Amino acid sequence: MENGDESSGDGYRGKGMIQLTGKDAYNHFTNVHNKNNSDDVQDFVANPDLLVSSEQYRIESAFVFWFTKTGKPNRNVKQFVKLKDLAKSGTVQEVTRLVNGGQNGYDDRKQRFNRLARLLGLDEE
């Protein structure tokens, strides 16, 4: 994750709609953003607070994370999966693990998912 010295206030703590965290994640977002927006080149590693001050970047960072994040949703899975694909067929618990590496906020997230599932006529978890 490459957060650096916590006491330094390095700025790579969660920002944006999905709470982008870690220098590596900010670097990845910088690369994807600049590749797709040559007329708006930014350095989010040097300026992480842009994900706070700009609604455009807050939203874009979440989309980039959602569509490019890969990982293993649980210990039994041998291969990496894309977050966007896991969200279609995985569980709230698996998606939570891939997004934040653990189960932080899982109970609240599951309740919110089930409330939306009822409204949309989907299966609850």
Q: Is there a contact between 98 and 83 (Cβ–Cβ < 8 Å)? A: yes
Residue extents of the structural domains in the chain: 1-68, 69-125
Residue-wise pLDDT tens digits, 82-105: 888 888 888 888 888 888 877 888
**pTM of the complete model:** 0.78
Q: Is there a contact between 90 and 77 (Cβ–Cβ < 8 Å)? A: no
pLDDT mean across residues, the chain: 87
